[in-house]
Amino acid sequence: MHAPTRFMVLTLLFILFTASTAIASSNIYIHLLNPHYGSGGHKHPDLNCLSWRLAVETNNLQNWTVVPLACKDYVGHYMLGKQYRQDVDLVTAEAYEFAKGLNLAGDGMDVWVFDIDETTISNLPYYARDTVGFGAVPLNLTTFNAWLEEAAGLAIPGSLKLYKKLIALGFKIVFLTGTEEIHREARTKNLKAVGYTTWEKLILREAGDGTGVAYKAKKRKELEEAGYRIRGNMGDQWSDLLGNNAGDRTFKLPDPMYYIG
Amino acid sequence: MHAPTRFMVLTLLFILFTASTAIASSNIYIHLLNPHYGSGGHKHPDLNCLSWRLAVETNNLQNWTVVPLACKDYVGHYMLGKQYRQDVDLVTAEAYEFAKGLNLAGDGMDVWVFDIDETTISNLPYYARDTVGFGAVPLNLTTFNAWLEEAAGLAIPGSLKLYKKLIALGFKIVFLTGTEEIHREARTKNLKAVGYTTWEKLILREAGDGTGVAYKAKKRKELEEAGYRIRGNMGDQWSDLLGNNAGDRTFKLPDPMYYIG
Protein backbone atom coordinates (compact mmCIF):
# COMPACT_ATOMS: atom_id res chain seq x y z
CA MET A 1 0.00 0.00 0.00
CA HIS A 2 1.43 3.34 -1.00
CA ALA A 3 0.85 6.72 0.52
CA PRO A 4 -1.88 8.56 -1.39
CA THR A 5 -0.21 10.94 -3.84
CA ARG A 6 -1.27 14.54 -4.10
CA PHE A 7 -2.82 13.83 -7.49
CA MET A 8 -4.81 10.86 -6.16
CA VAL A 9 -5.99 12.89 -3.23
CA LEU A 10 -7.20 15.81 -5.30
CA THR A 11 -8.80 13.55 -7.89
CA LEU A 12 -10.60 11.57 -5.23
CA LEU A 13 -11.77 14.58 -3.33
CA PHE A 14 -13.18 15.93 -6.57
CA ILE A 15 -14.95 12.71 -7.38
CA LEU A 16 -16.17 11.95 -3.89
CA PHE A 17 -17.70 15.29 -3.23
CA THR A 18 -18.90 16.43 -6.62
CA ALA A 19 -19.76 13.39 -8.70
CA SER A 20 -23.00 11.49 -8.32
CA THR A 21 -23.19 8.61 -5.88
CA ALA A 22 -23.54 6.19 -8.77
CA ILE A 23 -20.22 7.22 -10.28
CA ALA A 24 -18.42 7.24 -6.96
CA SER A 25 -19.78 3.81 -6.08
CA SER A 26 -19.00 2.04 -9.31
CA ASN A 27 -15.59 3.32 -10.33
CA ILE A 28 -13.60 4.04 -7.20
CA TYR A 29 -12.35 1.35 -4.90
CA ILE A 30 -8.99 2.14 -3.42
CA HIS A 31 -10.29 1.36 0.04
CA LEU A 32 -7.55 -1.05 1.06
CA LEU A 33 -8.30 -1.66 4.67
CA ASN A 34 -5.31 -3.78 5.52
CA PRO A 35 -4.37 -2.68 8.97
CA HIS A 36 -1.15 -4.64 9.13
CA TYR A 37 0.80 -2.43 6.77
CA GLY A 38 1.77 1.10 7.60
CA SER A 39 3.78 3.81 5.93
CA GLY A 40 6.09 2.42 3.25
CA GLY A 41 4.44 -0.99 3.34
CA HIS A 42 6.28 -2.13 6.44
CA LYS A 43 4.48 -4.50 8.73
CA HIS A 44 3.35 -3.17 12.08
CA PRO A 45 2.45 -6.19 14.15
CA ASP A 46 1.91 -4.18 17.30
CA LEU A 47 -0.78 -1.79 16.16
CA ASN A 48 -3.94 -2.90 14.47
CA CYS A 49 -5.32 0.21 12.81
CA LEU A 50 -8.84 -1.22 12.58
CA SER A 51 -8.77 -1.77 16.35
CA TRP A 52 -7.31 1.67 16.87
CA ARG A 53 -10.06 3.32 14.84
CA LEU A 54 -12.81 1.35 16.59
CA ALA A 55 -11.38 2.32 19.98
CA VAL A 56 -11.30 5.96 18.88
CA GLU A 57 -14.87 5.91 17.61
CA THR A 58 -16.18 4.28 20.80
CA ASN A 59 -14.35 6.81 23.01
CA ASN A 60 -12.18 4.09 24.50
CA LEU A 61 -9.08 6.02 23.45
CA GLN A 62 -9.12 9.57 24.78
CA ASN A 63 -6.85 12.60 24.72
CA TRP A 64 -4.79 11.34 21.80
CA THR A 65 -2.94 14.04 19.91
CA VAL A 66 -2.01 12.56 16.54
CA VAL A 67 -2.93 9.61 14.37
CA PRO A 68 -0.23 6.96 14.92
CA LEU A 69 2.22 7.10 12.03
CA ALA A 70 1.59 3.42 11.35
CA CYS A 71 -2.08 4.26 10.70
CA LYS A 72 -1.57 7.38 8.59
CA ASP A 73 -2.10 5.61 5.24
CA TYR A 74 -4.94 3.53 6.66
CA VAL A 75 -6.75 6.66 7.84
CA GLY A 76 -6.06 8.39 4.52
CA HIS A 77 -7.48 5.55 2.49
CA TYR A 78 -10.46 5.25 4.81
CA MET A 79 -11.29 8.95 4.63
CA LEU A 80 -10.87 9.15 0.85
CA GLY A 81 -12.58 5.85 0.13
CA LYS A 82 -16.16 4.68 0.07
CA GLN A 83 -16.19 3.32 3.60
CA TYR A 84 -16.11 6.69 5.35
CA ARG A 85 -18.88 8.00 3.16
CA GLN A 86 -21.01 4.90 3.76
CA ASP A 87 -20.35 5.02 7.51
CA VAL A 88 -21.65 8.59 7.54
CA ASP A 89 -24.63 7.72 5.34
CA LEU A 90 -25.82 4.98 7.68
CA VAL A 91 -25.71 7.29 10.70
CA THR A 92 -27.44 10.19 8.97
CA ALA A 93 -30.11 7.81 7.61
CA GLU A 94 -30.71 6.52 11.14
CA ALA A 95 -30.89 10.09 12.43
CA TYR A 96 -33.58 10.82 9.86
CA GLU A 97 -35.56 7.72 10.89
CA PHE A 98 -35.42 8.99 14.46
CA ALA A 99 -36.28 12.59 13.54
CA LYS A 100 -39.32 11.76 11.45
CA GLY A 101 -40.79 9.83 14.38
CA LEU A 102 -40.73 12.90 16.63
CA ASN A 103 -43.74 15.11 17.20
CA LEU A 104 -42.85 18.76 16.74
CA ALA A 105 -44.69 21.41 18.70
CA GLY A 106 -44.90 23.66 15.66
CA ASP A 107 -43.74 26.67 17.64
CA GLY A 108 -40.36 26.79 15.93
CA MET A 109 -38.50 25.81 19.07
CA ASP A 110 -37.64 22.19 18.16
CA VAL A 111 -34.01 22.33 17.11
CA TRP A 112 -31.40 20.00 15.74
CA VAL A 113 -27.84 20.80 16.77
CA PHE A 114 -25.05 20.16 14.27
CA ASP A 115 -21.37 20.55 14.88
CA ILE A 116 -19.58 21.93 11.80
CA ASP A 117 -16.12 20.46 11.17
CA GLU A 118 -16.20 16.82 10.01
CA THR A 119 -19.94 16.86 10.80
CA THR A 120 -21.50 19.13 8.21
CA ILE A 121 -18.39 20.47 6.49
CA SER A 122 -15.42 18.32 5.57
CA ASN A 123 -11.90 19.67 5.88
CA LEU A 124 -10.42 16.78 3.92
CA PRO A 125 -8.66 19.03 1.39
CA TYR A 126 -6.72 20.40 4.36
CA TYR A 127 -6.19 17.10 6.16
CA ALA A 128 -5.05 15.40 2.95
CA ARG A 129 -2.12 17.79 2.58
CA ASP A 130 1.32 16.21 2.83
CA THR A 131 2.08 18.61 5.68
CA VAL A 132 -0.96 17.43 7.65
CA GLY A 133 -1.01 13.72 6.81
CA PHE A 134 -4.61 13.00 7.78
CA GLY A 135 -3.89 13.98 11.35
CA ALA A 136 -0.60 12.13 11.68
CA VAL A 137 1.22 15.48 11.94
CA PRO A 138 0.52 17.60 15.05
CA LEU A 139 -2.07 20.31 14.43
CA ASN A 140 -0.69 23.57 13.05
CA LEU A 141 -3.24 26.14 14.15
CA THR A 142 -1.83 28.81 11.85
CA THR A 143 -2.28 26.82 8.65
CA PHE A 144 -5.61 25.42 9.84
CA ASN A 145 -7.00 28.88 10.58
CA ALA A 146 -5.75 30.10 7.19
CA TRP A 147 -7.61 27.14 5.65
CA LEU A 148 -10.79 28.11 7.54
CA GLU A 149 -10.51 31.62 6.13
CA GLU A 150 -10.45 30.18 2.60
CA ALA A 151 -14.05 28.98 3.30
CA ALA A 152 -13.30 26.09 0.94
CA GLY A 153 -14.55 23.16 3.02
CA LEU A 154 -16.80 20.60 1.32
CA ALA A 155 -20.29 19.54 2.25
CA ILE A 156 -20.51 16.07 3.76
CA PRO A 157 -23.14 14.55 1.45
CA GLY A 158 -25.05 12.49 4.05
CA SER A 159 -25.20 15.41 6.47
CA LEU A 160 -26.35 17.89 3.83
CA LYS A 161 -29.12 15.48 2.83
CA LEU A 162 -30.16 15.10 6.49
CA TYR A 163 -30.05 18.88 7.00
CA LYS A 164 -32.44 19.45 4.10
CA LYS A 165 -34.81 16.72 5.30
CA LEU A 166 -34.83 18.08 8.86
CA ILE A 167 -35.78 21.51 7.60
CA ALA A 168 -38.56 19.92 5.52
CA LEU A 169 -39.80 18.19 8.68
CA GLY A 170 -39.95 21.54 10.46
CA PHE A 171 -36.83 21.48 12.62
CA LYS A 172 -34.83 24.62 13.20
CA ILE A 173 -31.09 24.18 12.70
CA VAL A 174 -28.43 25.27 15.17
CA PHE A 175 -24.79 25.08 14.17
CA LEU A 176 -22.58 24.88 17.25
CA THR A 177 -18.87 24.94 16.54
CA GLY A 178 -15.64 25.27 18.47
CA THR A 179 -14.39 27.68 15.81
CA GLU A 180 -13.62 31.10 17.26
CA GLU A 181 -15.97 34.01 16.67
CA ILE A 182 -13.34 35.80 14.59
CA HIS A 183 -13.97 33.35 11.75
CA ARG A 184 -17.76 33.96 11.60
CA GLU A 185 -17.70 35.50 8.15
CA ALA A 186 -15.64 32.72 6.61
CA ARG A 187 -17.74 30.00 8.21
CA THR A 188 -20.96 31.64 7.11
CA LYS A 189 -19.63 31.93 3.57
CA ASN A 190 -18.51 28.30 3.55
CA LEU A 191 -21.80 26.94 4.91
CA LYS A 192 -23.86 28.86 2.38
CA ALA A 193 -21.54 28.01 -0.53
CA VAL A 194 -21.97 24.26 -0.08
CA GLY A 195 -25.71 24.22 0.51
CA TYR A 196 -26.37 24.96 4.18
CA THR A 197 -28.28 28.08 3.28
CA THR A 198 -30.34 28.78 6.40
CA TRP A 199 -30.20 28.34 10.18
CA GLU A 200 -31.73 29.53 13.42
CA LYS A 201 -28.38 30.13 15.10
CA LEU A 202 -24.71 29.85 14.24
CA ILE A 203 -22.86 29.67 17.53
CA LEU A 204 -19.11 30.25 17.56
CA ARG A 205 -16.76 30.25 20.50
CA GLU A 206 -15.94 33.48 22.31
CA ALA A 207 -13.29 34.35 24.86
CA GLY A 208 -14.29 32.87 28.23
CA ASP A 209 -16.47 30.18 26.69
CA GLY A 210 -14.09 27.40 27.64
CA THR A 211 -13.38 24.52 25.28
CA GLY A 212 -14.54 21.05 24.33
CA VAL A 213 -17.30 19.38 26.30
CA ALA A 214 -17.67 22.27 28.78
CA TYR A 215 -18.12 24.84 25.99
CA LYS A 216 -20.63 22.77 24.06
CA ALA A 217 -22.66 21.85 27.16
CA LYS A 218 -22.76 25.49 28.25
CA LYS A 219 -24.08 26.67 24.89
CA ARG A 220 -26.68 23.88 24.77
CA LYS A 221 -27.85 24.83 28.26
CA GLU A 222 -28.24 28.44 27.12
CA LEU A 223 -30.26 27.25 24.14
CA GLU A 224 -32.67 25.27 26.29
CA GLU A 225 -32.90 28.06 28.84
CA ALA A 226 -33.97 30.28 25.94
CA GLY A 227 -36.85 27.86 25.31
CA TYR A 228 -35.41 25.73 22.53
CA ARG A 229 -35.81 21.97 22.73
CA ILE A 230 -32.77 20.03 21.48
CA ARG A 231 -34.36 17.02 19.79
CA GLY A 232 -31.23 15.75 18.06
CA ASN A 233 -27.52 16.46 18.33
CA MET A 234 -24.90 15.34 15.83
CA GLY A 235 -21.14 15.63 15.99
CA ASP A 236 -17.90 13.89 15.06
CA GLN A 237 -16.45 14.23 18.58
CA TRP A 238 -17.76 12.72 21.80
CA SER A 239 -17.24 16.16 23.33
CA ASP A 240 -20.07 17.35 21.05
CA LEU A 241 -22.40 14.80 22.59
CA LEU A 242 -21.53 14.33 26.26
CA GLY A 243 -22.50 16.52 29.20
CA ASN A 244 -25.73 18.31 30.10
CA ASN A 245 -28.54 19.21 27.68
CA ALA A 246 -27.19 16.65 25.21
CA GLY A 247 -30.47 16.40 23.31
CA ASP A 248 -33.14 13.71 23.04
CA ARG A 249 -30.71 11.60 21.09
CA THR A 250 -27.13 12.02 19.95
CA PHE A 251 -25.39 10.79 16.81
CA LYS A 252 -21.66 10.24 16.50
CA LEU A 253 -20.17 10.62 13.04
CA PRO A 254 -16.81 9.00 12.31
CA ASP A 255 -13.59 10.98 12.59
CA PRO A 256 -10.30 9.17 12.97
CA MET A 257 -8.20 12.27 12.16
CA TYR A 258 -8.29 14.25 15.39
CA TYR A 259 -9.53 14.32 18.97
CA ILE A 260 -11.14 17.20 20.85
CA GLY A 261 -11.69 16.50 24.54
CA MET B 1 -17.62 -16.18 1.61
CA HIS B 2 -19.21 -19.26 3.07
CA ALA B 3 -21.03 -19.63 6.35
CA PRO B 4 -18.70 -20.96 9.02
CA THR B 5 -19.27 -24.69 9.38
CA ARG B 6 -19.82 -26.27 12.75
CA PHE B 7 -16.40 -27.90 12.53
CA MET B 8 -14.69 -24.60 11.72
CA VAL B 9 -16.52 -22.94 14.55
CA LEU B 10 -15.55 -25.52 17.15
CA THR B 11 -11.98 -25.70 15.91
CA LEU B 12 -11.62 -21.94 15.96
CA LEU B 13 -13.20 -21.57 19.35
CA PHE B 14 -10.75 -24.15 20.65
CA ILE B 15 -7.77 -22.43 19.08
CA LEU B 16 -8.79 -18.88 19.90
CA PHE B 17 -9.47 -19.46 23.53
CA THR B 18 -6.93 -22.09 24.49
CA ALA B 19 -3.90 -21.81 22.25
CA SER B 20 -1.19 -19.24 22.79
CA THR B 21 -1.44 -15.88 21.10
CA ALA B 22 1.51 -16.77 18.90
CA ILE B 23 -0.24 -19.81 17.45
CA ALA B 24 -3.53 -17.99 16.98
CA SER B 25 -1.81 -15.08 15.28
CA SER B 26 0.31 -17.00 12.85
CA ASN B 27 -1.93 -19.78 11.63
CA ILE B 28 -5.49 -18.54 11.58
CA TYR B 29 -6.72 -15.93 9.17
CA ILE B 30 -10.26 -16.53 8.03
CA HIS B 31 -11.16 -12.98 8.88
CA LEU B 32 -12.72 -12.08 5.55
CA LEU B 33 -14.17 -8.70 6.24
CA ASN B 34 -15.87 -8.16 2.93
CA PRO B 35 -19.09 -6.44 3.84
CA HIS B 36 -20.54 -6.55 0.36
CA TYR B 37 -21.31 -10.23 0.39
CA GLY B 38 -23.91 -11.77 2.64
CA SER B 39 -25.29 -15.23 3.17
CA GLY B 40 -24.72 -17.46 0.15
CA GLY B 41 -22.29 -15.01 -1.44
CA HIS B 42 -25.01 -12.75 -2.80
CA LYS B 43 -24.25 -9.09 -3.05
CA HIS B 44 -26.09 -6.78 -0.67
CA PRO B 45 -25.61 -3.29 -2.02
CA ASP B 46 -27.99 -1.71 0.47
CA LEU B 47 -26.37 -2.74 3.72
CA ASN B 48 -22.71 -2.22 4.44
CA CYS B 49 -21.98 -4.52 7.36
CA LEU B 50 -18.85 -2.60 8.35
CA SER B 51 -20.97 0.55 8.61
CA TRP B 52 -23.66 -1.36 10.47
CA ARG B 53 -21.18 -2.68 13.02
CA LEU B 54 -19.56 0.74 13.53
CA ALA B 55 -23.01 2.29 14.05
CA VAL B 56 -23.82 -0.43 16.60
CA GLU B 57 -20.56 0.03 18.49
CA THR B 58 -20.96 3.81 18.66
CA ASN B 59 -24.56 3.52 19.91
CA ASN B 60 -25.90 5.19 16.78
CA LEU B 61 -28.16 2.19 16.17
CA GLN B 62 -30.34 1.43 19.18
CA ASN B 63 -33.07 -1.03 20.12
CA TRP B 64 -32.20 -3.45 17.32
CA THR B 65 -33.37 -7.00 17.90
CA VAL B 66 -31.39 -9.21 15.54
CA VAL B 67 -28.26 -9.03 13.43
CA PRO B 68 -29.41 -8.31 9.85
CA LEU B 69 -29.41 -11.57 7.89
CA ALA B 70 -27.10 -9.98 5.31
CA CYS B 71 -24.51 -9.47 8.07
CA LYS B 72 -24.79 -12.86 9.77
CA ASP B 73 -21.70 -14.32 8.09
CA TYR B 74 -19.80 -11.07 8.48
CA VAL B 75 -20.49 -11.04 12.21
CA GLY B 76 -19.62 -14.72 12.48
CA HIS B 77 -16.29 -14.31 10.77
CA TYR B 78 -15.55 -11.20 12.82
CA MET B 79 -16.32 -12.88 16.13
CA LEU B 80 -14.38 -16.03 15.30
CA GLY B 81 -11.47 -14.27 13.68
CA LYS B 82 -8.52 -12.30 14.93
CA GLN B 83 -10.11 -8.89 14.59
CA TYR B 84 -12.56 -9.29 17.47
CA ARG B 85 -9.81 -10.54 19.73
CA GLN B 86 -7.51 -7.69 18.77
CA ASP B 87 -10.29 -5.12 19.19
CA VAL B 88 -10.81 -6.39 22.74
CA ASP B 89 -7.07 -6.47 23.46
CA LEU B 90 -6.60 -2.82 22.53
CA VAL B 91 -9.43 -1.72 24.83
CA THR B 92 -8.32 -3.84 27.77
CA ALA B 93 -4.73 -2.63 27.31
CA GLU B 94 -5.95 0.98 27.37
CA ALA B 95 -8.01 0.22 30.48
CA TYR B 96 -4.89 -1.07 32.18
CA GLU B 97 -2.93 2.06 31.21
CA PHE B 98 -5.71 4.10 32.80
CA ALA B 99 -5.96 1.92 35.90
CA LYS B 100 -2.27 1.93 36.70
CA GLY B 101 -2.29 5.73 36.71
CA LEU B 102 -4.91 5.88 39.47
CA ASN B 103 -4.05 6.37 43.11
CA LEU B 104 -5.82 3.82 45.27
CA ALA B 105 -6.78 4.72 48.82
CA GLY B 106 -5.66 1.34 50.10
CA ASP B 107 -8.86 0.87 52.07
CA GLY B 108 -10.17 -1.85 49.77
CA MET B 109 -13.01 0.34 48.48
CA ASP B 110 -11.61 1.13 45.02
CA VAL B 111 -13.52 -1.17 42.71
CA TRP B 112 -13.58 -2.06 39.04
CA VAL B 113 -16.98 -3.07 37.70
CA PHE B 114 -17.11 -5.76 35.02
CA ASP B 115 -20.17 -6.93 33.18
CA ILE B 116 -20.05 -10.69 32.53
CA ASP B 117 -21.48 -11.80 29.17
CA GLU B 118 -19.29 -10.80 26.21
CA THR B 119 -17.22 -8.76 28.68
CA THR B 120 -15.45 -11.29 30.87
CA ILE B 121 -17.07 -14.51 29.67
CA SER B 122 -17.71 -15.28 26.01
CA ASN B 123 -20.86 -17.12 24.97
CA LEU B 124 -19.54 -17.74 21.47
CA PRO B 125 -20.09 -21.51 21.62
CA TYR B 126 -23.78 -20.70 22.06
CA TYR B 127 -23.96 -17.85 19.55
CA ALA B 128 -22.11 -19.89 16.93
CA ARG B 129 -24.84 -22.54 16.91
CA ASP B 130 -26.74 -22.88 13.62
CA THR B 131 -29.93 -22.21 15.57
CA VAL B 132 -28.57 -18.92 16.91
CA GLY B 133 -26.59 -17.66 13.92
CA PHE B 134 -24.41 -15.13 15.77
CA GLY B 135 -27.50 -13.18 16.79
CA ALA B 136 -29.23 -13.27 13.40
CA VAL B 137 -31.94 -15.48 14.93
CA PRO B 138 -34.20 -13.89 17.59
CA LEU B 139 -33.10 -14.74 21.13
CA ASN B 140 -34.49 -17.99 22.51
CA LEU B 141 -34.40 -17.45 26.25
CA THR B 142 -35.02 -21.13 26.99
CA THR B 143 -31.97 -22.39 25.13
CA PHE B 144 -29.86 -19.46 26.32
CA ASN B 145 -30.70 -20.10 29.96
CA ALA B 146 -29.97 -23.79 29.47
CA TRP B 147 -26.59 -22.76 28.04
CA LEU B 148 -25.94 -20.55 31.08
CA GLU B 149 -26.66 -23.53 33.34
CA GLU B 150 -23.96 -25.50 31.51
CA ALA B 151 -21.46 -22.97 32.91
CA ALA B 152 -19.38 -23.60 29.80
CA GLY B 153 -18.65 -20.02 28.72
CA LEU B 154 -15.08 -19.15 27.78
CA ALA B 155 -12.81 -16.53 29.28
CA ILE B 156 -12.23 -13.54 27.03
CA PRO B 157 -8.42 -13.49 27.04
CA GLY B 158 -7.88 -9.71 27.13
CA SER B 159 -10.40 -9.28 29.94
CA LEU B 160 -8.96 -12.11 32.03
CA LYS B 161 -5.50 -10.58 31.67
CA LEU B 162 -6.86 -7.17 32.73
CA TYR B 163 -8.74 -8.73 35.65
CA LYS B 164 -5.55 -10.31 36.99
CA LYS B 165 -3.58 -7.08 36.57
CA LEU B 166 -6.27 -5.02 38.32
CA ILE B 167 -6.19 -7.35 41.30
CA ALA B 168 -2.39 -7.06 41.37
CA LEU B 169 -2.77 -3.26 41.41
CA GLY B 170 -5.08 -3.54 44.44
CA PHE B 171 -8.52 -3.08 42.89
CA LYS B 172 -11.48 -5.02 44.18
CA ILE B 173 -13.58 -6.63 41.47
CA VAL B 174 -17.34 -6.33 41.19
CA PHE B 175 -19.16 -8.43 38.61
CA LEU B 176 -22.48 -6.83 37.72
CA THR B 177 -24.62 -8.86 35.35
CA GLY B 178 -28.17 -8.81 34.02
CA THR B 179 -28.34 -12.56 34.57
CA GLU B 180 -31.11 -13.48 37.01
CA GLU B 181 -30.25 -14.50 40.56
CA ILE B 182 -31.51 -18.04 39.93
CA HIS B 183 -28.37 -18.71 37.88
CA ARG B 184 -25.91 -17.66 40.62
CA GLU B 185 -24.46 -21.11 41.13
CA ALA B 186 -23.86 -21.70 37.41
CA ARG B 187 -22.31 -18.25 36.91
CA THR B 188 -20.07 -18.70 39.93
CA LYS B 189 -18.93 -22.07 38.65
CA ASN B 190 -18.28 -20.68 35.17
CA LEU B 191 -16.31 -17.65 36.39
CA LYS B 192 -14.10 -19.77 38.64
CA ALA B 193 -13.59 -22.47 36.01
CA VAL B 194 -12.09 -20.07 33.48
CA GLY B 195 -9.85 -18.13 35.85
CA TYR B 196 -11.94 -15.42 37.53
CA THR B 197 -11.30 -16.95 40.92
CA THR B 198 -12.05 -14.11 43.30
CA TRP B 199 -14.28 -11.04 43.62
CA GLU B 200 -15.67 -8.55 46.11
CA LYS B 201 -19.23 -8.85 44.85
CA LEU B 202 -21.12 -10.82 42.24
CA ILE B 203 -24.35 -8.92 41.63
CA LEU B 204 -27.17 -10.66 39.78
CA ARG B 205 -30.58 -9.33 38.91
CA GLU B 206 -33.52 -9.91 41.25
CA ALA B 207 -37.25 -9.42 40.77
CA GLY B 208 -38.05 -5.71 40.90
CA ASP B 209 -34.53 -4.67 39.86
CA GLY B 210 -35.66 -3.45 36.46
CA THR B 211 -33.56 -4.08 33.37
CA GLY B 212 -30.84 -2.59 31.24
CA VAL B 213 -29.46 0.82 32.01
CA ALA B 214 -31.86 1.43 34.94
CA TYR B 215 -30.86 -1.84 36.64
CA LYS B 216 -27.14 -1.29 36.20
CA ALA B 217 -27.27 2.34 37.34
CA LYS B 218 -29.30 1.38 40.44
CA LYS B 219 -26.80 -1.27 41.48
CA ARG B 220 -23.84 1.05 40.89
CA LYS B 221 -25.54 3.70 43.03
CA GLU B 222 -26.01 1.15 45.82
CA LEU B 223 -22.32 0.27 45.56
CA GLU B 224 -21.19 3.87 45.91
CA GLU B 225 -23.68 4.50 48.70
CA ALA B 226 -22.05 1.58 50.50
CA GLY B 227 -18.75 3.43 50.26
CA TYR B 228 -17.21 1.82 47.22
CA ARG B 229 -15.58 4.03 44.60
CA ILE B 230 -16.13 2.86 41.03
CA ARG B 231 -12.85 3.72 39.35
CA GLY B 232 -13.43 1.81 36.14
CA ASN B 233 -16.44 0.19 34.47
CA MET B 234 -16.28 -2.19 31.52
CA GLY B 235 -19.07 -3.69 29.47
CA ASP B 236 -20.04 -4.80 25.98
CA GLN B 237 -23.33 -2.82 26.03
CA TRP B 238 -23.80 0.92 26.31
CA SER B 239 -26.44 0.15 28.93
CA ASP B 240 -23.57 -1.08 31.13
CA LEU B 241 -21.90 2.31 30.89
CA LEU B 242 -24.55 5.02 30.70
CA GLY B 243 -26.54 6.55 33.56
CA ASN B 244 -25.57 7.60 37.07
CA ASN B 245 -22.52 6.40 39.00
CA ALA B 246 -20.93 5.26 35.74
CA GLY B 247 -17.41 5.20 37.18
CA ASP B 248 -14.35 7.41 36.70
CA ARG B 249 -14.01 6.04 33.20
CA THR B 250 -15.96 3.54 31.13
CA PHE B 251 -14.75 1.08 28.51
CA LYS B 252 -16.93 -0.34 25.75
CA LEU B 253 -15.97 -3.79 24.46
CA PRO B 254 -17.21 -4.85 21.02
CA ASP B 255 -20.37 -6.89 20.64
CA PRO B 256 -22.17 -6.97 17.30
CA MET B 257 -24.34 -9.98 18.26
CA TYR B 258 -27.03 -8.47 20.46
CA TYR B 259 -28.37 -5.28 21.96
CA ILE B 260 -29.55 -4.66 25.53
CA GLY B 261 -31.15 -1.27 26.05
The pLDDT, as a whole number, for residue A53 is 98
B256 pLDDT above the threshold of 70: yes
The per-residue pLDDT for A188 is: 98
Sign, CA dihedral A5-A8-A10-A12, equals negative
pLDDT exceeding 90 applies to what percent of chain B?
A: 82
Residue B19 is predicted with a pLDDT of 40
Instruction: Decide if A128 contacts A162 (C-beta within 8 A).
Output: no
pLDDT computed for residue B39 by the predictor: 40
Query: CA of B145 to nearest chain A CA: how many angstroms apart?
Result: 30
3-state secondary structure of B64: coil
Task: For chain B, say whether A145 makes contact (Cβ under 8 Å).
Answer: no
Backbone φ, ψ for residue B251 (5° rounding):
-135, 125
> What confidence tens digit (pLDDT) does each residue in B48-69 have?
999 999 999 999 999 999 999 9
Q: Is residue B58 less than 8 Å (CB to CB) from chain A?
A: yes
Span B201-210, mean pLDDT? 96
% of residues, chain B, pLDDT over 70: 83
pLDDT value for A19: 39
Strand A172-180 to strand A201-205: parallel, antiparallel, or no bridges (unpaired)? parallel
B1 touches chain A (CB under 8 A): no
**pLDDT mean over B131-156:** 98
Average pLDDT of chain B to the nearest whole number: 89
Which pLDDT tens digit goes with each residue over A183-213? 999 999 999 999 999 999 999 999 999 999 9
Q: Whole-angstrom Cα distance, residue B123 to residue B150?
A: 11
Residue range A36-79, pLDDT digits in tens: 444 444 444 579 999 999 999 999 999 999 999 999 999 999 99
Does the beta carbon of A242 lie under 8 angstroms from any beta carbon of chain B?
no
**Is the minimum CB–CB distance between B32 and chain A shorter than 8 Å?**
no
Extract the runs of DSSP E, i.e. beta strands, from chain A.
110-114, 121-122, 154-155, 172-180, 201-205, 229-235, 249-252
Q: Minimal Cα distance from A86: which residue of B?
A: B51
A6-20 pLDDT tens trace: 666 655 555 555 433
Q: With CB atoms and an 8 Å threshold, state whether B94 touches A61.
A: yes
pLDDT per residue as tens digits for the range B105-122: 999 999 999 999 999 999
B150: closest CA of chain A, how far (Å)? 32
Least Cα distance to B168 among B189, B193, B190, B198 occurs for B198
Question: Of B83, B86, B91, which is closest to A60 when you measure between CB atoms?
Answer: B91
- pLDDT surpassing 50 at residue B195: yes
**Is B52 near chain A, with CB under 8 Å?**
yes
Q: How confident is the model at residue B46 (pLDDT cuts 50, 70, 90)?
A: confident
pLDDT score, position B29: 33
Using pLDDT thresholds of 50, 70 and 90, give the confidence band for residue A24. very low
The confidence score (pLDDT) of residue A207 equals: 92
**Range B239-258 average pLDDT:** 98
How many other CB atoms are found less than 10 A from the CB of residue A136?
A: 19
Q: What angle do CA B251, B256, B257 make, to 5 degrees?
A: 120
Domains of chain A: 6-252 (3.40.50.1000)
Length reported for chain A: 261
Residue B3 — pLDDT band, cuts 50, 70, 90? low
Q: Name the DSSP class of B131.
A: T
- What is the predicted pLDDT for the residue at B26? 35
B-chain residues near A51 (CB < 8 A): 83, 86-87, 89-90
Residue of A nearest to B34 (CA): A33
Q: Verify whether the Cβ–Cβ distance B87 to A252 is below 8 Å.
A: no
Which of A244-253, B1-10, B40-49, B90-99 is predicted least confidently?
B1-10
DSSP A53-65: HHHHHTT-S-S--
What is the pLDDT confidence band of residue B40, given thresholds at 50, 70 and 90? Answer: very low
